[in-house]
Structure 1
Amino acid sequence: MLVQRGFSRPAPADTALTIGNFDGVHLGHRALLSRLGEVAQGRGLLPAALTFEPHPREFFTPEAAPARLSTLREKLELLDADGVRHCCVGRFNARFAALSAEQFIDDVLVRCLRVRHLIIGDDFHFGAGRTGDFAQLRAAGERHGFAVESMRSVLLDGERISSSAVRDALAKGQLQHAERLLGRPYAIDGRIVRGQQLGRRLGFATANIRIRHDRPPLSGVFAVEVSGLSGLNGLDSRRDAPPLAGIANLGVRPSIDANARPLLEVHLFDFDRDIYGAHLSVRFLSKLRDEMSFPNLDALRAQIARDAAIAHEFFAQRATGGSNADARLLTSPFRPHPF
């Protein structure tokens, strides 16, 4: 997929285009992208997407912006997997926010992205003050020679599939519901960095992954599986090598780090290799518990051992297709802990 940043040059060909934030690239987005591919193939157009960085709500109201489901890199990889061959990443800043609806159509859609068929969601608005709507796009299409169609929201058991619905499920620890909305387990990608070696001293060495955004959409301790290590340091080099199982803690660890930045710590079962610098994908399969504080390291070590035992049970049931292939959620007050 060709990634274009900004609007300084035109797309390489006439496009079938869709527009959105595509945070998480859930099943609603994927239905739209599937339709985009059909149109592009049928009309001989380049399947293209326009997305924004940062999220518009991060620009207008950063203090109230939603938690990110995906980084820009993750989003681009997901769009590429769903058949987008040209993605324009528009910098959402004061200048872009001030564009009128007419300027957006003329300068962005027509001149830059060479749109010939536009597919949008049923709640799409654009231009300064969000004054542009479907009727204005259709009228512009008649003038400039592009077709416009709107797709209805995709429902799952009567619930509208949306990024907000995914965030809500993740925040509540409902990982299986989030997986149904996404069409895949929720995952966070990142590069392993050196940490404080606390996990190793406790007998549970961890791979530490810095989170790109300050507020991840979920927190706690989870059963996870990890991919991205194929062929590294003597590991199975097959492209279809199975993921590795483990447990992970995602939180800010304020009792250890005064800066309280989010950190994802992953302990892989039966694994002891140097993998610093590797770029991993961590898939969250089941929530084991909320974060909690401990009076000393011995208590923390004992709790991690219990977490690992429950995660092992989860993976054993999952491997045999057990009816209860979900780890138990251990209820406890939400308190930070230094795992």
Structure 2
Amino acid sequence: MTPDEVTPEDVPVDDGRARVWRSLAEVPTDLGPTVVTIGNFDGVHLGHQEVLGVVVERARARGAAAVAVTFTPHPRAVHLPEEPLRLVTSPSQRRELLGATGLDGVLELDYTLELAAQSPREFVESCFVRGLGASAVVVGRDVRLGAGNSGNLETLAALGAEHGFDVVTVEDLGVGGGRWSSTAARRLLDDGDVTRAARILGRHHRLRAEVVHGDARGRTIGFPTANLSQDVEGLVPADGVYAGWMLRAGGGPEAVLPAAVSIGTNPTFDGTQRRVEAYVLDRTDLDLYGEVVELELVRHLRPTLRFTSVEELVTQMDADVEQVREVLAADDRPAARR
């Protein structure tokens, strides 16, 4: 069977939430036929979204369920534990982003050395054929699967011909000669370039964590900040000051608020712990302690600096706030969190 080639187009998606299965044993026996794709999907960037759009489109046309197969932890964490990989999105963020594409289900397989040792045939037959009843598998041309990444597009096409599922290929996509990739998004975020990262992700990058007590120093100088816990979800970008939005759960006028976001160690006060904190513009009355918030980062404004006095710091913060206003006035206000 020759792989069926398609050029991805805009595919309608919905805001539903996909069912999440953490093993093949959890997949319903009455799921019926599926259209499947596979990948790590870190960041769920525009390239991922194109593939997932094709999955949803093909599934709807066939009356099948649209399913993405992914892994936790990231395979690199298993194969190269000595080289930690900072991921663009946490597992829960990834689930939400995958669910928003219109998928019916997400299969999160526990990535182990045992799983990694399966041959391409063993994996395809156990997962795609017996586990998910795939009628089609949608992949990029550079697909690799099985032990040592020994399986490729031709391998998958041969197994599809044998087991009766179609193989649909989606071309690599990008802009300016570059390829949309999680690696490129990570590199840009590490550099603090959230604007260019957003062009790969298809949205502004977000951080999520509970608001905890800090030093309360900001309140004494007129800029009370919400300090995020150290358990931040999402890749924390380079130190600096950013224009962004704070998103709170629920609706109403308090759900989306303009914010100046600071990331760093606060060198003016000889800080040593790297923190993420946000000042909500013109608000000194908010009590956010214990609340889980998201920070959507729109633009990097300046690096973290050491000031010689509190007065110099306050003068700069006043300027930062005015710049945040200008940036956010030109940005689309995000929807409130669910």
Tell whether the 8 Å contact from 2:207 to 2:233 is kept in structure 1 after alignment.
Answer: no
Aligned partner of 1:304 among 317, 323, 330: 317
Normalization by structure 2: what TM-score? Answer: 0.83
Distance verdict in 2 for CA 1:2–1:213, change over 3 Å: closer
Q: Deviations over 1:199-234 (max 9, x none)?
A: 223321111223446963433210111222444xxx
1:162 aligns with 2:181: yes
Aligned residue for 1:270?
282
Q: Which of 254, 257, 279 pairs up with 1:244?
A: 257
> RMSD of the alignment, in Å?
2.5
Q: How much does 1:108 deviate? A: 1.9
1:93 to 1:297, Cα distance in 2 relative to 1, 3 A: farther
Matched, 1:227 2:242: no
Q: Which moved more, 1:170-179 or 1:26-35?
A: 170-179
Give yes or no for contact 2:87–2:234 (8 Å, CA) kept in 1. Answer: no
When residues 116 and 280 of structure 1 are mapped into structure 2, their CA distance, relative to the original with a 3 A threshold, is same
Q: 1:213 to 1:183 in 2, by over 3 A?
A: closer
1:4 counterpart (16, 21, 32): 21
Asked if structure 1 preserves the Cα contact closer than 8 Å seen for 2:53 and 2:101, the reply is yes
Q: Which moved more, 1:115-124 or 1:208-217?
A: 208-217
Q: Does 1:141 align with 2:154?
A: no
User: How far does the alpha carbon of each residue in 1:62-113 deviate from its partner, in whole angstroms, 9 at most, with x for none?
Assistant: 3434421111111111111111110011111222222222221122222222
Match of 2:52 among 12, 33, 51: 33
**Residue 131 of structure 2 corresponds to which residue in structure 1?**
112
Q: Is the contact between residue 67 and residue 217 of structure 1 (CA under 8 Å) also seen in structure 2?
A: no
The count of aligned residue pairs is 309
The amino acid of 1:219's aligned partner reads D
Cα gap change, 1:94/1:197 in structure 2, threshold over 3 Å: closer, same or farther?
A: farther
Cα distance in 1 between the residues matched to 2:65 and 2:261 = 40
- Supply the AA of the counterpart residue of 1:141: G
Deviations 1:264-302 (A, max 9, x none): 211101222212233322111111112233455554444
Percent of counterpart pairs with the same letter? 32
Q: Are positions 1:179 and 2:198 aligned together?
A: yes
Indicate how the Cα distance of structure 1 residues 65 and 113 shifts in structure 2: closer, same or farther if over 3 A, else same. Answer: farther
The one of 287, 299, 306 aligned to 2:300: 287
Shift of 1:27: 0.9
What amino acid does structure 2 have at the position aligned with 1:256?
G
Counterpart of 1:315 in structure 2 is 328
Residue 103 of structure 2, aligned match among 84, 99, 102: 84
Task: Give 1:46 shift.
Answer: 0.4
Displacement of 1:194 = 2.7
The amino acid that maps onto 1:43 is R
Give, as a single letter, the amino acid of the residue that structure 2 aligns with 1:57.
R
Once residues 265 and 144 of structure 2 are traced to their aligned partners in structure 1, the CA distance between those partners, rounded to angstroms, is 36
8 A Cα contact 1:199 1:205, kept in partner = yes
For structure 1, the 5+ residue unaligned runs are 321-339
The gaps in structure 2 that reach 5 residues or longer are 1-17, 333-338
Structure 1 residues 152-202: Cα deviation after superposition (integer angstroms, max 9, x where no partner): 111212221111222233233333322222221122222322333232233
Query: Which amino acid in the other structure matches residue 123 of structure 1?
Result: D
Per the normalisation by structure 1, the TM-score is 0.82
Q: Distance in 1 between matches of 2:123 and 2:302?
A: 47
Deviation at 1:319, TM superposition (A): 6.9
Distance 1:62 1:212 in 2: 21
Most deviating of 167-176 and 210-219: 210-219
Partner of 2:14: none
Partners of 1:209 and 1:93 in 2: how far apart?
A: 32
CA distance in 1, matches of 2:47, 2:233: 24
Contact 2:89 2:234 in 1 (8 A): no
